[in-house]
Chains A and B, each alone.
Chain A
Amino acid sequence: MLLYILKRLITVTPVAFGVSIVCFLLVHLAPGDPLSAVLPADATQQTIDDMRAAYGFDKPLPIQYAIWLWHVLHGDLGVSIATGRPVAQEVGRAVVNSLILASVATLIGFTFGVFFGFVAGYRRNSILDRVASALSVFGVSVPHYWLGMVLVIVFSATLGWLPPTGAGPDGSGNWRPDFDHLRYIILPAVTMAVIPMGIIARTVRALVADILSQDFVEALRAKGLSEFGVFKHVVRNAAPTALAIMGLQLGYLLGGSILIETVFAWPGTGFLLNAAIFQRDLPLLQGSILVLAMFFVALNLIVDVMQTALDPRIERA
């Protein structure tokens, strides 16, 4: 097992290295000058050159990359051009905010997904099934920035029940799960939850239907177990797969959503990326993409290791 983990860790290193090169190159190959967004439009060439030298943009790309990598390996993601604040600090704060949003969204998506899935699976081809299935298909197919805007129009602009933007009455600095802050999370979290809800609902429906058609259920019923008792067995059999799907969905949501976070001005990684892209804030862009990419690399590694631990048959080469 340890050997396996070690092996996986070794294979992750070139992947991480590749990711860092791609991050760096993508950002530098994109058109646009990082300084033009920061300097006043009529800054003189001298000022621009000074700034360029100050940020090291005058050096050849491979050298810029080497310098950046060296700093990154020391835990220093650099300083944002637009704000002058350390990138690590900015990304750190945004990751926490995205985490909060993703957790709440997953919770909502999972609860409703499982509920609809069970209802549909149990009452297959009934009206309830049709409604639940329609809702889940709607969930996976609706463009969520559109849904976000519609929710804002209905619940914020028209009814005035929920705030449409931001992370709390005083920003995200003192975020805590109290009523004042949770009001702000409802709309973005619901918007974000519809996709995992749809996916989970459809998976659970198929699972439940499959389990219900298996012989052991027949046997349980035959031995006179109450319908609730049978239900408990179905839940136990469906749980591992449903949880695995939820884990995957959580992983996707943690990456933050540029569209949702921008529509709701939620100060997470998506919002940060959007700002960084529009301001050509290269260090910030590189830093946040790298952190997110590494996040996925780590997530993959953990999933692989966990699967091996749970099921020794999956000894991957």
Chain B
Amino acid sequence: MNVVLPKLGARAALAGVVLLAATSASLAQGTLRIGMTASDIPLTTGQTDNGGEGMRFMGYTVYDGLINWDLSSATKASDLVPGLAESWTVDANDKTKWVFKLRPGVKFHDGSDFTADAVVWNLDKLLKADAPQYDPRQSAQGKTRIPSVASYKVVDPLTVEIVTKAPDATLPYQIAWVMMSSPAQWEKLGKSWDEFAKHPSGTGPWKLTLFAPRERAEMVPNTAYWDKNRVPKLDKLVLVPLPEANARVAALRSGQVEWIEAPAPDAIASLKGAGFTIVTNAYPHNWTWHLSRVEGSPWNDIRVRKAVNLAIDREGIKELLGGLAIPAKGFMPPGHQWFGKPTFDVKYDPEAAKKLLAEAGYSTAKPLKLKVAISASGSGQMQPLPMNEFVQQNLADVGVQVEYQVVEWNTLINIWRAGAKADISRGVSAINYSYFIQDPFTGFIRHLQCNLAPPNGTNWGYYCDPAMDKLFDQVRNTFDKAEQEKVLQKVHEKYVDDALFVMITHDVNPRAMSPKVKGFVQAQNWFQDFSNITMATASR
């Protein structure tokens, strides 16, 4: 008997294990827990806050736009795809009039139908201050994204017409920002956005099931999602705000989360050594010096702009960042569909830089002196202090003296909004700013169009070139996508050939994850798709 009992026990245990394994294989695709860099759960009502991270986790998960971003490929640059609208066309005779044909049969998470009324209701939510559903918080986030929209109306239950202030072929990119919340759910919850925040309802692939402010959000798949390829395979997606970089790494290493955003660069090697996967990819981000072009600025001389661009050792910066950077060859990342064929080769050539500076009249006796505003940290700013010190050293090597005004991130944003002429800019001739450059407006137009100089926009340096403005007009008036792309390439060629920015590097959006995470494709986008992810059952 003494011998049999343990055997029986072992058999029972084995049977149990087999049974468990069988059930988990057939049922569970697991739970994925993600440590975000945000200090709070992004706004859940539709139009999220917390910038790109907010849209990534609380926008394109719970909600859809009429137009979405294609997040399915890691190898090609991400582009727009039909979302809640199956198609959109601009009127052949009146280029301000757009017709959106909506996807039939789509339902919100609460079961109500998605119709043209809902589209108009959602646009009113952002733009019409006297509408009952107008939400100042969502409006603050969304209104800025759709500056061209003048009016809109229901044509029939599955058709919406949107009219722009002037012809604007970039409208689809703007519309991709607008997330559609459920009017029925809002009505049901006593017309309160605060209640809606706790029980949101969109059309997206994920349904929010738990919302604990500052601590946790949980989502489960929307099995009735209209795009069968994007019905999530996981059982649950959990978001945890972990703003402190070391805390994120600790949470990942201890198995509290399986995925963290933006691991600290100095933790990468040890994470890799411990068997974690570091996923990176190019995406439309850049880290530049935005140049002042006001009267008296040294940057008004193209030789200076080119010289500084040639003096920077970008490979050295990449090494400084543990390889987590793409050296800039232009304003857009290399290989981007709008890159074109610029003739100015952005590379490290200190001799050429010295020569250009000498031509521009600078020498050891009369060195070029630059005053630049930089931040100590900030969203998208990578590692601003060591990186700028590196640049400072590079420039010192060619005889340029750089003095930094180090300000706090929010102050730098204010300087950037106020413009190079404002007092708050303290006479700096450049600011170190990283950019979201995902669409024609945020990528190009907002930085350099003449009439977008402050206070009308964020052309910080007061750059104004009629030739560039003409190209921007062309972008806005070219409704054929392929043709528009060609114009955008010309814009980028001008950006590079005129050396309009000091183009330094691009981030690679690093995230670290447990080897259990399978099936994630990191799109070349600020947003990502979590639908095809599964969790391997074997434990680490």
- Assess whether A39 is in contact with B39, with CB atoms less than 8 Å apart: no
Asked if A84 contacts B197 (CB within 8 A), the reply is yes
A42 to B143, CA, bound (A): 11
Given known A-B contacts A36-B414, A275-B39, A44 and B457 have beta carbons under 8 A apart: yes
| Per-residue contact bits, chain B 232-250, to A (CB 8 Å; 1 contact, 0 not) | 0000000011111011011
Known: A265-B247, A272-B214. A41 touches B51 (CB 8 A): yes
- Check B80 for interface membership: any CB of A closer than 8 A: no
Q: A171 to B212, Cβ gap below 8 A?
A: yes
Contact A172 B215 (CB under 8 A): yes
A164 adjacent to chain B (CB < 8 Å): yes
The answer to whether A263 and B244 have CB atoms under 8 Å apart is yes
> Using a CB-CB cutoff of 8 Å, which residues 45-76 of chain A contact chain B?
45, 47-48, 50-51, 54
- The reply on A25 being an interface residue by CB < 8 A is no
Q: Provided the pairs A32-B411, A36-B410 are in contact, do residues A170 and B210 lie with their beta carbons within 8 angstroms?
A: yes
A-B contact count (CB 8 A): 142
Residue A37, interface by CB 8 Å: yes
Q: Which residues of chain A (8-41) have a CB below 8 Å from chain B?
A: 31-33, 36-41
Expressed in whole angstroms, the minimum distance between the Cβ of B461 and any Cβ of chain A is 15
Give bound CA distance, A40 to B40, whole Å.
16
- CB-defined contacts of A82 to chain B, threshold 8 Å: 40, 49
Task: Write out the residue numbers on chain B whose beta carbons fall within 8 Å of the beta carbon of A41.
Answer: 51, 413, 416-417, 458
Distance to closest chain A CB from B241 (angstroms): 8
Among B101-109, B151-159, B252-260, B299-307, the one that faces the other chain is B252-260
A280 near B243 (CB under 8 angstroms)? no
Contacts of B140 in A (CB 8 A): 38-40, 43, 47, 50-51
Residues of chain B from 414 to 440 with CB closer than 8 A to chain A in the complex? 414, 416-417
Question: Is A45 a contact partner of B256 (Cβ separation < 8 A)?
Answer: no
Contact flags A176-211 to B (C-beta < 8 A → 1, else 0): 000000000000000000000000000000000000
Asked if A262 is at the interface (CB within 8 A of a chain B CB), the reply is yes
Give the residues in chain B near A279, CB-CB below 8 Å.
39
Contacts of B193 in A (CB 8 A): 84
Q: Which of B212, B242, B246, B458 contacts A173 (CB 8 A)?
A: B212
Inside 8 A of B216's CB, which chain A residues have their CB? 166, 170-171
Interface residues of B in 163-221 (CB under 8 A from A): 193-194, 197, 210, 212-216
CB of B446 within 8 Å of the partner chain: yes
CB distance from B137 to the nearest CB of A (A): 5
Q: How far is the CB of A282 from chain B (nearest CB, A)?
A: 12
The answer, among B136, B214, B256, for a CB contact under 8 Å with A164, is B256
A117 within 8 A of B: no
User: Quick check: is A251 within 8 A (CB to CB) of the other chain?
Assistant: no
Q: Which of these binds chain B: A149-157, A285-293, A299-307?
A: A149-157
| Cα separation A167 to B213 with both chains bound (whole Å) | 13
Chain A residues with CB under 8 A of B297: none
Distance of B407 from chain A, by nearest CB (Å): 9
- Is A54 touching B136 in the complex (CB atoms < 8 A)? yes
Bound complex: CA of A51 vs CA of B416, how far in Å? 19
Chain A interface category by residue count: 35 or more
Interface string of B22-49 (1 = CB under 8 A from A): 0000000000000000011001000001
Known contacts A44-B144, A171-B212; A263 and B246 CB within 8 A of each other: yes
Q: Are B144 and A47 in contact (CB under 8 A)?
A: yes
Tell me, in angstroms, the Cα distance from A112 to B137 when the chains sit together: 50
A118 CB-CB contact with B under 8 Å = no
Residues of B near A152 (CB, < 8 A) are 246-247, 250, 254
Contact A90 B213 (CB under 8 A): yes
> B251 near A: Cβ within 8 Å?
yes
Whole-angstrom CA separation of A128 from B212 in the bound complex: 48
* Residue B519 interfacial (CB < 8 Å): no
* B136 and A51 within 8 A (CB): yes
B residues within 8 A CB of A163? 251, 254, 256
Cβ contact within 8 Å between A165 and B144? no
B455 at the A/B interface (Cβ < 8 Å)? yes
One of A42, A84, A264 near B144 (C-beta < 8 A): A42
B281 contacts the other chain (Cβ, under 8 Å)?
no
Q: Which of B145, B410, B414, B456 has the most CB of A within 10 A?
A: B410
Interface residues of A in 211-263 (CB under 8 A from B): 262-263
Does B442 make an interface contact (CB < 8 A)? Answer: yes
Q: Is the CB of A164 within 8 A of B416?
A: no
**Contact A263 B212, CB 8 Å, known A33-B414, A84-B197:** no
Say whether, besides A163-B254, A164-B254, A278 and B144 are in contact (CB < 8 Å): no
Determine whether A130 belongs to the interface, using a CB cutoff of 8 Å to chain B.
no
* Bound: A131/B69 CA distance, A: 63
Question: Smallest CB–CB gap between A101 and chain B, Å?
Answer: 14
Question: Could you tell me if B242 and A165 are in contact, using CB atoms closer than 8 angstroms?
Answer: yes
Q: Among the listed B250, B414, B458, which residue makes an inter-chain contact with A42, where contact means beta carbons less than 8 Å apart?
A: B458
Asked if A92 is an interface residue, CB under 8 A from chain B, the answer is no
B41 vs chain A, min Cβ distance (A)? 9
Q: Give chain B residues whose Cβ lies under 8 Å from the Cβ of A33.
A: 410, 414
Q: What is the minimal beta-carbon distance from B456 to any residue of chain A, in angstroms? A: 8
The residues of A that contact B194 with a CB separation of less than 8 Å are 84-85
Among A38, A167, A272, the residue within 8 A (CB) of B49 is: A38
Residues on the A chain within 8 Å of B145, using CB:
40
Q: Does B478 contact A (CB under 8 A)?
A: no
**Contact between chains at A149 and B141 (CB < 8 Å):** no
Q: A39-B140, A43-B144, A82-B49 are in contact. Are A32 and B214 (CB under 8 A)?
A: no
State which residues 80-119 of A face B: CB under 8 Å: 82-85, 90
B246 to chain A, nearest CB (A): 6
With a 10 A CB-CB cut-off, give which of B136, B212, B455 has the most chain A CB atoms. Answer: B212
Expressed in whole angstroms, the Cα–Cα distance for A160 and B411 within the complex equals 41
Per-residue A-contact encoding for B43-77, CB less than 8 Å = 1, 0 else: 10000010100000000000000000000000000
Q: Is the CB of B240 within 8 A of A166?
A: yes
Q: Given A36-B414, A45-B455, A160-B254, do A275 and B247 touch, yes or no (CB 8 Å)?
A: no
**A31, closest chain B residue (CB):** B411
Closest beta carbon of chain B to A185's beta carbon, Å: 14
Cβ-defined contact, B410 with A265, below 8 A: no
Contacts of B91 in A (CB 8 A): none
- State how many angstroms separate the Cβ of A296 from the closest Cβ of chain B: 24
**A160 and B455 alpha carbons, distance in the complex (Å):** 53
User: With a CB–CB cut-off of 8 A, which chain A residues contact B456?
Assistant: 44-45
Tell me how far the C-beta of A143 lies from the nearest C-beta in chain B, rounded to whole angstroms.
14
Report the minimal beta-carbon distance from B426 to chain A, rounded to whole angstroms: 13
Which chain B residue has the least Cβ–Cβ distance from A43?
A: B144
Residue of A nearest to B194 (CB): A84
B359 within 8 A of partner (CB): no
**Between-chain CB contacts (< 8 Å), 11 pairs:** A32-B410, A32-B411, A38-B49, A41-B413, A41-B416, A42-B144, A160-B255, A164-B247, A164-B254, A167-B215, A262-B247
Q: Which residues of A contact B (CB under 8 A)?
A: 31-33, 36-45, 47-48, 50-51, 54, 82-85, 90, 149, 152-153, 156-158, 160, 162-167, 170-173, 262-265, 267, 271-272, 274-275, 278-280
Interface on B for A, CB 8 Å cutoff?
Answer: 39-40, 43, 49, 51, 136-137, 140-141, 143-145, 147, 193-194, 197, 210, 212-216, 240-244, 246-247, 249-251, 253-256, 408, 410-411, 413-414, 416-417, 442, 446, 455-458
Known: A44-B456, A265-B240. 14 other contacts (CB 8 A): A39-B141, A40-B144, A45-B455, A45-B456, A54-B136, A84-B137, A84-B193, A90-B213, A156-B250, A156-B254, A170-B216, A171-B210, A262-B247, A267-B215
- Ranked nearest first, the 9 interchain pairs of A and B with the lowest CB-CB distance are A156-B254, A157-B253, A171-B212, A171-B215, A164-B250, A171-B216, A275-B39, A32-B410, A152-B250
